Amino acid sequence: MKTKTKNNTDTSRGAFTLLEILIAISIVVIIGGVVALQLIDMPQKSRRDAASMQLGTFKTAIQIYVADNGFPPSQRQGLEALVAKPTTPPIPANYRPNGYLDSKTVPKDPWGGDYVYLSPGSDGGLFEIICYGSDGDEGGEGYAADLSSATP
């Protein structure tokens, strides 16, 4: 309840207490920290997602190459066989005039490294494409973990 003094002025306080200000600042700092951690992590997650999508693109392109020619590119021919007709055996008889990728060069992984092509794959499949992740080395954990076309 508001009280009035003799000269009819309002004596109720309209200011915040120090405790209220500290609580408000603490809440803002906590929320800001959570948001900042999510934003810091986002570029690495985006790179990992981009690498997974690129592996899917390579896998599809090689499957089409196999459907056209009856065999995947050899390990020696590598992923280059998807952008230019191989000149080393086995030479594909039904190679598509524009290759199997939209680009004229094999793209690098999102961290600037090369994808690794194995034929046959390490799991016994016809082929496997590997991205070594953020550290560029085999193995690793988190964003440095390897990605493979052989794993779903």
- Give the confidence band of 6 by pLDDT, cuts at 50, 70, 90: low
Q: Say if strands 128-131 and 116-118 run parallel, antiparallel, or are unpaired.
A: antiparallel
Higher-scoring residue by pLDDT: 11, 94? 94
Domain boundaries defined on the chain: 50-148
Phi, psi of 58 (to 5 degrees): -60, -45
pLDDT tens-digit series, residues 112-129? 999 999 989 888 889 999
Give the SS3 label for residue 13. Answer: coil
Check whether 4 has a pLDDT greater than 60.
no
Check whether 13 has a pLDDT greater than 70.
no
pLDDT of residue 93: 93
Q: What is the rounded average pLDDT for all residues in the chain?
A: 87
Euclidean distance between CA atoms 46 and 121, whole angstroms: 26
pLDDT of residue 94: 94
- Give the confidence band of 69 by pLDDT, cuts at 50, 70, 90: very high
pLDDT tens-digit series, residues 83-113? 999 999 999 999 999 999 998 999 999 999 9
pLDDT tens-digit series, residues 47-64? 999 999 999 999 999 999
Q: What is the CATH number of domain 50-148?
A: 3.30.700.10
- For 18, 41, 81, 92, 128, the CA distances from 29, given in Å and listed in that order, are 16, 18, 53, 61, 46
